[in-house]
Structure 1
């Protein structure tokens, strides 16, 4: 057997093995290989597929990473309408549903109870075992084609397991944002001085509609499937179809239950009403379905919903309690957040003592008064929030809650921009929560990752007047910290060693660690790649910054304002003197230049190399990848199969058209 035949066999082996590993990890929650071994096999498969492009397979595990090419979604009709379910809120209504079912089928009925996942509905189409299309619900008749985004969700199989499945079928389900991932992403938003996402449901729906499928893949969505649709090849009962779907590689609800009577349905509802807070993903009720498919067909549909299924909606988990006081917290960016301090109350299995009041407008909207009796809910089952006030319980002499005028820590008058909801303390350099918050951010894992420096240690060093800004860390000596509270010789050595090691952290992470408002990890990478050093970033105007991909006016203004502060310039100089990386390394600068600087380029069509590679080449040489053709487009990079409408617009605007080869000559 020749080398090519061996490599092709290896490709098939790697694809099948990685699909099985994916299934075990994301569907069965039973990892069967280490992350390192998985990554090494995936890398080997990527290399082999590049060597043999004729072996391209859209269902390969390598196709899950997504693309960062912007696109607009097309709308397509559903083969089977995506109807909504009728809602019930009481057991009496469920009993009435049972009576209607029995009057029509006139024989015993079994039910399947499933958790009603609170996410974004999706319909997946499989042809000959391969995922070919993913449509959102839309208006029920037509949905958005989000196939590229859905392919990044690892619990959705690109190729089915086994070989016994209908040639063509649809399967319906719900795309969700797990609570843990939601909390992680919200923590990043808050850390960057941005408003957190409201709840997992809205976040999942918004993520599914992102134009950047690579970013979708990084968000960590999950998917549970619950209904198969085929012409005549499914099993005779819904319960059997669920088991079959799991065998084919789909993630179905592990908590679904086959019930012989409505009394068993009620027991299922009662159990999950009490235990839903322990789930990893959000639910808002229970779905009850007639199990027998023939009975489903006999019952049929109304114009809006099936007669053989209904949902039972849980009441929002809420409680009434007394507002004891309102306190105000100051974050790393200076944002001041009001917090309701409450008489302790049980809510969704936890004791709630504090709840968010968001901002001044929220307080005014509630008409909140001192010692009010308030209703508290858990937004998305996670974040407690005050949702209303019982005015009938208000004391006649109660005073309205007003937003503070001065910083609660340093006393500086607060400011609020016209276009922002939050108040800020402008005392950036001397307000203790901001000073400590910036240091904590700087030493965090995603920034400098300095071992041994946590929040308590930073607070200790600040109280002992050993650090007042991030540059002070690089002046610390073992003798400065040994002997401090809970600080032995080994702990002191570990901290100083961690600070020394941090001098090798790459420039993009250093830039992120500076804590410039709105400059998160992705923006920091874009700035570093485009401008290469802190000196060039400081010298770049807002107008020029806005020409960099993903840098909008708000971000550009924030960057410029940061370097207008003399204290920040002095801070940068001290970090340079300490040996912290303030420019891209020679390795990172390989193949970079300014030859495309300031040029806006639109890609369209197919090329000899991947679009991601071409986009990276443009960015490494100072260019900006644009998603759409406009009068500001400098070049139109045309591959094969360019759409006629786009080409017509290019010609109308007289935009220069270049080929892949011409682009390479421009950056040689």
Structure 2
């Protein structure tokens, strides 16, 4: 039996990683650096090594990307060959271990030693930081362009990719071929785009990758099925004339391609790239053939020196075994090829001055400190604001207004203050937390941050190295107190005025209309803020009562735009229960857990009845929800203690929302556990996805909790033995199914 502590930590890590996958792959808005993300995944792998029964096809260690929303604006496409991701490496020792693993694996798999022969060579390519795309050509013409999605299923964005103009519409040869690459935006084009947005009164985009993600998910061209294709090269200085009415063409997006299917593979990856160039594709710049790890390190140093001056977003290098015949011997893991890895650069660092600190109110009332700094160019963008995490962060780091601070873009995404330049004069004004809520002036709730002894020791070392003290600082004293109390005092400040604080109301509504929630595109942050300030809306429900005369008083609205917004709001009545549950903003409930809740309650009526029930009844009911851990159970129960939340849900119940059957119908396999082994007629991931869609889960090996043991051709003997043991010892009522019976079950038939 799995240790409950390990099982709980495993569940926590799975949910956290899925949430970060959703932010990165679906929302194009990463929340943590690649290094921090990889540390979470590594911890999860170690837990699954210690407790193999925790490994399932649904584990983030076995999956690529993130699942698409249940309802998406684009056609979903299931690909025959999954798009894999690459494992990340960060230091030279990781590279040496990688090569050692390659040699060991090749010696074991090449029994006759007639392929490997002890010879290894690599091709090193720049790793472009963009959006992955798969393009399918028939007779040399682009027929379909599909996003990564979860690796197996992506979105059909063909019309938008054609409009980019940097993807060949027609190849130089009439081939049937599927190629994969990256769509990205050069820094110079990104700055031009943001300058144009600011001139139009719009918020600037966060980073080039975020801009690309938004572009390929625009609906305008998809609806018109624009079929304009232009050929151009990644590093061409000359920009082709674009249709000014085409919003995607105006962005001047770029693309590189680097992967060809197995039936078109050349003998080396270098020859693959030459083949792609011959067909008309742009490929990564300056691919370099090397023979050893030491030569790889020289290439890494070369690019690391150059990257600050590059115009294209590059966050590392891709290192591939050059000989493609070795790829077949090396194979792949559940989510990555063994013959390629990504080496990620350290985050870029820049020096600037701390001007001030804002207190930013979030949708849950938590007030987060955000640093305003003198604008500085780092990681390809101009940074003027940086994360400060919490108020204890500021105190123990002894930050003062006027300090010269070091800024890093963690994972090339999130700007953070990582140090103070102690060789320069320090600022005089100590940063102080707000005495009351900056939005509604309410008295704040002040909570500590619990900190373990190892974390505290690590923090002390970092403070000594990166944040030097000056007379009058209290940071060191507070760290000494934390060694005794186990906490840093007043780290988190919260405004308790949930119903009356305009900042909280605004953030809740912004969340409600976001892409993974009700997905009302026309309601951006600025418009929501103006509507709240005008007093027209105080909760998400109020959106459905907005009138034309009210909107016409808001700056920037005219007759046509008002009509479009009202139509979009009305259209959002048709959604799924999972999206609605995610939209109302229960603490800790992301898109994945919202699906668990929707599967359990099935209808809005049952969900609202649960919210209205007595606390003891909720505490009992929430224990029956599959996939929800103890900590989140408590959060869900507590959330519905708020009378205003229950009133809002009652209002929505009377609104006439229309939930699609897929998102909110009863799950016929809810709670059922499957184990699948052997070769099947369809790719196993298709069956796993359908099982999960119907409420079931899958496990790697048969256990007492399994309901169905599905076997195809040549099932794994060890799993069959374990199944027979469970049956013979009468420890399980698990049923054995063939593929035909599985298909019937998934189609709703009795078996």
Q: Give TM-score scaled by structure 1 length.
A: 0.54
C-alpha contact 1:321 1:344 (8 A) present in aligned 2? yes
Q: Residue 385 of structure 2: SS of its match in structure 1?
A: strand
d(CA) in 1 for partners of 2:625, 2:568:
34
Is structure 2 residue 315 aligned with structure 1 residue 282? yes
d(CA) in 2 for partners of 1:393, 1:248:
56
d(CA) in 2 for partners of 1:614, 1:349:
42
2:355 paired residue number: 324
Structure 1 unaligned blocks of 5 or more: 1-38, 47-60, 68-74, 84-111, 120-147, 155-160, 163-172, 187-220, 227-232, 259-264, 292-311
Q: Residue 399 of structure 2: SS of its match in structure 1?
A: coil
* Structure with bigger gyration radius: 1
Per the alignment, do residues 357 and 149 of structure 1 end up closer, same or farther by CA in structure 2, a change over 3 Å counting? same
1:436 paired residue number: 506
1:562 paired residue number: 639
1:643 paired residue number: 716
C-alpha contact 1:332 1:435 (8 A) present in aligned 2? yes
2:274 paired residue number: 243
Q: Residue 324 of structure 1: SS of its match in structure 2?
A: strand
Per the alignment, do residues 252 and 536 of structure 1 end up closer, same or farther by CA in structure 2, a change over 3 Å counting? same
1:484-512 per-position Cα deviation (integer Å, ceiling 9, x unaligned) = 44443433333333332322233333223
d(CA) in 2 for partners of 1:423, 1:184:
35
Per the alignment, do residues 223 and 624 of structure 1 end up closer, same or farther by CA in structure 2, a change over 3 Å counting? same
Identify which of 511, 520, 523 aligns with 1:450: 520
Correspondence list, 1:146-295, <5 A: 180-181=208-209, 243=274, 252-256=283-287, 272-276=306-310, 278-283=311-316
CA shift at 1:435, angstroms?
A: 0.6
Is structure 2 residue 649 aligned with structure 1 residue 579? no
d(CA) in 2 for partners of 1:544, 1:607:
38
C-alpha contact 1:343 1:353 (8 A) present in aligned 2? yes
1:25 paired residue number: none
1:259-285 per-position Cα deviation (integer Å, ceiling 9, x unaligned) = xxxxxx999869934433x3233138x
2:582 paired residue number: 512
1:131 paired residue number: none
CA shift at 1:436, angstroms?
A: 0.8
Is structure 2 residue 730 aligned with structure 1 residue 657? no
d(CA) in 1 for partners of 2:641, 2:368:
27
RMSD between aligned alpha carbons?
Answer: 5.4
1:339 paired residue number: 370
d(CA) in 1 for partners of 2:281, 2:424:
51
Q: Residue 327 of structure 1: SS of its match in structure 2?
A: strand
Q: Residue 571 of structure 1: SS of its match in structure 2?
A: helix
1:363 paired residue number: 394
CA shift at 1:374, angstroms?
A: 1.5
d(CA) in 1 for partners of 2:448, 2:701:
32
C-alpha contact 1:436 1:462 (8 A) present in aligned 2? yes
C-alpha contact 2:522 2:565 (8 A) present in aligned 1? yes
1:63 paired residue number: 81
CA shift at 1:244, angstroms?
A: 5.6
CA shift at 1:608, angstroms?
A: 6.6
C-alpha contact 2:394 2:431 (8 A) present in aligned 1? yes
d(CA) in 1 for partners of 2:213, 2:392:
25
CA shift at 1:339, angstroms?
A: 1.6
Per the alignment, do residues 279 and 337 of structure 1 end up closer, same or farther by CA in structure 2, a change over 3 Å counting? farther
CA shift at 1:574, angstroms?
A: 0.9
d(CA) in 2 for partners of 1:66, 1:542:
41
CA shift at 1:434, angstroms?
A: 1.7
d(CA) in 2 for partners of 1:615, 1:115:
34
Q: Residue 572 of structure 2: SS of its match in structure 1?
A: helix
CA shift at 1:468, angstroms?
A: 0.5
1:409 paired residue number: 439
Per the alignment, do residues 457 and 175 of structure 1 end up closer, same or farther by CA in structure 2, a change over 3 Å counting? closer
Q: Residue 427 of structure 1: SS of its match in structure 2?
A: coil
d(CA) in 2 for partners of 1:623, 1:519:
20
1:295 paired residue number: none
Correspondence list, 1:481-492, <5 A: 481-492=551-562
